[in-house]
Amino acid sequence: ICGHTVNTMTFEKYVKVGLYNFDYLIFYRTSHHVILGEHDRSSNAEAIQTISVGKSIKHPNYNSFTINNDILLIKLATPAQLNTHVSPVCLAETSDNFPGGMKCVTSGWGLTRYNAPDTPALLQQAALPLLTNDDCKRFWGTNITDLMICAGASGASSCMGDSGGPLVCEKNGVWTLVGIVSWGSSTCSTSSPGVYARVTKLRAWVDQTIAAN
């Protein structure tokens, strides 16, 4: 996260990430693990859970050129143990509306500036306003599709290493997953919006895929 100092789970057995830069998970999933409950990567005192990947499911219509349908579901080999540090986030409903200007939050261990020598040990977060897609197109033109949602251009931005992370918005007192970190400025510019996979457009596929697996 640039400009500022929830693990994204569905129930106890699914994790969602973006596909951009993550295609290798499809082919080598048995050698990867999901770490839950982490906050400080430099600490050995946290009660983290390390769980093997049981299955990874790529959106069949993912397009690496347009970066549409940028989502991968990971099914955990064993259920997560939910506690005060590991909890699920609600998924946006297909019919939900999250208007431009609404303040949301993204988090991750990505670079804190474009030329940073390393990623931070502590989990970072930043509050960002949503943009309408019309406003976002002023920055990114026709690269923006209905399968994307934009946030930022306000002094903070997701950066390299944040890909696949959450964009959550509080609605009716409940934190809801609205976007998944997808792509943005190649220099992590905090004056350009970051682009996220739009969960409302992907919810039907998520539901169908979980039901079938």
Q: Is 37 within the bounds of a domain?
A: yes
* Residue 104 shares a structural domain with residue 178: yes
Q: Is 4 within the bounds of a domain?
A: no
Give 199's Cβ-side CA count (13 Å radius): 26
Q: Is 152 within the bounds of a domain?
A: yes
Residue with tokens 């939050």: 105
* Residue 45 shares a structural domain with residue 138: no
* Residue 71 shares a structural domain with residue 158: no
* Residue 206 shares a structural domain with residue 149: no
What DSSP designation does 93 have? P
In sequence order, the 6+-apart residues with CB closer than 8 A to the CB of 181 are 18, 106, 108, 158, 162, 163, 164, 165, 166, 167, 194, 196
* Residue 61 shares a structural domain with residue 127: no
- Cut 0.85: pTM above it: yes
* 3-state secondary structure at position 46: coil
CA nearest neighbour of 9 among 20, 17, 1: 17
* Residue 76 shares a structural domain with residue 95: no
CA-to-CA dists, residue 129 to 69, 100, 154, angstroms: 22, 7, 7
* Residue 55 shares a structural domain with residue 100: no
Q: How many residues does the chain have?
A: 213
Query: What is the structure's pLDDT at 30?
Result: 52
* Residue 188 shares a structural domain with residue 162: yes
Query: What is the structure's pLDDT at 13?
Result: 63
Structural domains in the chain (count) = 2
> CA angle, 168 as apex, 73 and 62 as ends, to 5°?
35
Query: What is the structure's pLDDT at 115?
Result: 87
Q: Is 1 within the bounds of a domain?
A: no
* Residue 97 shares a structural domain with residue 162: yes
3-state helix, strand and coil shares in percent for the chain, rounded to the nearest 5: 15, 35, 50
Query: What is the structure's pLDDT at 32?
Result: 83
* Residue 117 shares a structural domain with residue 75: no
CATH number of the domain encompassing residue 82: 2.40.10.10
Q: Is 2 within the bounds of a domain?
A: no
CA 1/CA 8 separation, integer angstroms: 16
* pLDDT, one tens digit for every residue, the chain (213 residues): 544 433 344 446 666 555 544 443 444 445 688 899 999 999 999 999 999 988 889 999 999 999 999 999 999 999 999 999 998 889 999 999 999 999 999 999 999 988 888 999 999 999 999 999 999 999 999 999 999 999 999 999 999 999 999 999 998 899 999 999 999 999 999 999 999 999 999 999 999 999 999
Query: What is the structure's pLDDT at 88?
Result: 87
* Residue 53 shares a structural domain with residue 96: no
Q: What domain range includes position 207?
A: 9-87+202-212
Q: Is 193 within the bounds of a domain?
A: yes
* Residue 136 shares a structural domain with residue 196: yes
CA 4/CA 190 separation, integer angstroms: 10
